[in-house]
Structures are given as C-alpha cells and as structure tokens.
Structure 1
Amino acid sequence: MTNILNIKLIRNDAKMPYRANEGDAGLDLFSVEDVIIPSGQSALISTGIQMELPKGTEAQVRPRSGLALKHSVTVLNSPGTIDEGYRGEVKVILINHGKEEFRVEKHMRIAQMVIAPVFQVELAQVSDLTQSERNSGGFGSSGK
C-alpha cells in the first residue's frame, strides 16, 4: 500500500489539507465559502478539493473538537466515510447544535480527515453463529 494521497485543487481559493502538528492523525479540511448555519440546521460545505485515496484505504471525515466545544458545531454523519473510488469534490455536512447561528468563513478549518485502512471481507451466509460471552446483549448490556 502506498502512502501518497493525491489532492487536486478544483478552485483557485482552495487550500490543501494539512496536519497542524507532526504526528497528528487528522488532516484539517477548509471551507471555500461563507455559509451561515442557523441554530438547529445543517449545511453542506465545499472544500474545493478532490482526491485519490491510496488503494485499500478510506477517508474518515470527523468533527473538530474546538468547533464542537466552543460553538456546538459538529459533522452530522460522523465519521463520514469517503470511499477509495470517489473522485468528486470533498464536502462536509456540518450541523449547528448551538443556540445561535454559526458563520462558516472561507478558509476556516471545518473538519478533520483521517486516512484509514479498510479490511475487505468475504460474506458467508450461515444458519448459526458461534456463541460469545456477550451474545445478543445490546445497548447498556455491559452494566457500565
């Protein structure tokens, strides 16, 4: 697997994703537009980039903790998955859970993107599954 993420800027005002600090897992994604997101509403925000992911990977689009803490703004479908074969513009769905409108400004860091390996599996239909200690215990079943 190669570690090269090919990025194409499709707008003159687009910014390359980047890591704020060496060793960070996430690459910051930037808005290329000014958008107002009313309280309780969501918006699709353009980044002005397209990319070609390395074979066997996905991009996970995740919230920025600062936006979540300071403004109650987060990525709606977190983490949003971008599949290896997608070549369209990277866009981010932001939702404003805050009490006031939120202004997305051009070149603002709006999300972070983590490139992760994808484990491909073969599907097998079976009539029985092996038992486990947890079995069908679901939400809250661990008692913690």
Structure 2
Amino acid sequence: MIESVDVPIIAAQLPVYAHPGDAGADLVSTEALRLAPGQRALVGTGVRIALPDGYVAFVVPRSGLAARHGITIVNAPGTVDAGYRGEIKVALLNTDQTEAYDIAVGDRIAQMIVMPVPRARFIPVDELPASPRGEGGFGSTGYQTGVTP
C-alpha cells in the first residue's frame, strides 16, 4: 500500500478525491466567470499548500470538462513546487469554437495530483548510451502519414 503524505493547506474548500483510488483531488473555482469560445482565464481555487521537500503537485484537466465542453488547462500539467506558498490558480482554456462555458463558484475545474519526485543529478558526458528509440522525436513511435511501402 502506498503511504499518504501530510500536506498543510489553507483553503475554504479542501480538495476532495471523488472515489477511492483516484489519483487526483478535485479543485474548485472561487469565482464565477464565463469562458467565451477560444478564451482563457486564470481562475482562483483558494487553495494554498506547503508540500514537503521531495514532492510536487501537478494540476491537470478534468476529463469530463474536456470531453463534454472542451475545457482544458493551457499549461497542463501545471506544476506546483514544494517551495511555492501562493494560491493555486488554474489557466483554463475553452477550446470549443462556438459555445461559451459558464463556471460558478464551487464548480470542479481541475484535479491536483501530489507525488514524490527525485532530485536529478545531471552528469555531463560526451556520448549517451544507445536505446531502441534513439533520436526519434515527435511521432516517431507509430504515427506516419503519406508513407508508401
């Protein structure tokens, strides 16, 4: 079983896990607004946390909002570092081309995933070890178009 981590928090409404085993706890809006088609807005959650060293919180879109209304997060995942103590805000974007989306105070707008992160030691080398993927970049693992045998 994975251990839980204590996260000191200041919030009018605590993040909540909707179901046992969920990775993300829901964050809610502290403000009412309308996102016009193509519009983005920085939306407050009223949540401030103190993560322990060695932990990070990622703010990610809610799949239902994305699938049903085209609402996503511009910088997904948003990264909350252990040293940050300000309010967690969410940069929402309405990707729908025709429909506005209304957000009310208390609406679930994002999820927060808290997880441990190791500190990397970057070691300069002259050459990297080989790998099956090599230097293949975007789309190199299966997406091909216009390829003739």
Which of these residues, 42, 48, 56, is aligned with residue 54 of structure 2? 56
CA distance in 2, matches of 1:129, 1:22: 42
User: What is the identity, as a one-letter code, of the residue corresponding to 1:117?
Assistant: P
8 Å Cα contact 1:19/1:26 also seen in 2 = yes
CA distance in 1, matches of 2:107, 2:142: 41
8 Å Cα contact 1:2/1:54 also seen in 2 = no
Identity %: 45
8 Å Cα contact 1:32/1:47 also seen in 2 = yes
CA distance in 2, matches of 1:97, 1:125: 41
Q: Give the deviation of 1:54 after TM superposition.
A: 2.4
Which ranges in structure 2 are unaligned for 5 or more consecutive residues? 144-149
User: What is the identity, as a one-letter code, of the residue corresponding to 1:112?
Assistant: Q
Q: Which runs of 4+ in 1 moved over 6 A?
A: none
User: What is the identity, as a one-letter code, of the residue corresponding to 1:28?
Assistant: D
Tell me the number of residue pairs that the alignment of Structure 1 and Structure 2 aligns.
Answer: 140
Q: Give the deviation of 1:3 after TM superposition.
A: 0.8
Alignment of 1:31-42 (within 5 A): 31-42=29-40
CA distance in 1, matches of 2:92, 2:30: 14
- 2:134 aligns with 135
User: What is the identity, as a one-letter code, of the residue corresponding to 2:127?
Assistant: D
Alignment of 1:4 onto 2:6: yes
8 Å Cα contact 1:68/1:74 also seen in 2 = yes
Cα deviation 1:27-74 (Å, max 9, x = unaligned): 000101001111001000001121011221100101111111111101
Q: Give the deviation of 1:19 after TM superposition.
A: 0.7
User: What is the identity, as a one-letter code, of the residue corresponding to 2:65?
Assistant: L
Q: Give the deviation of 1:134 after TM superposition.
A: 1.8
Which ranges in structure 1 are unaligned for 5 or more consecutive residues? none
CA distance in 2, matches of 1:138, 1:38: 35
CA distance in 2, matches of 1:133, 1:47: 43
Q: Give the deviation of 1:127 after TM superposition.
A: 1.6
Please tell me the root mean square deviation across aligned C-alpha atoms, in Å.
1.5
- 2:111 aligns with 112
CA distance in 2, matches of 1:60, 1:72: 20
Give the TM-score normalised by structure 2.
0.88
CA distance in 2, matches of 1:143, 1:36: 39
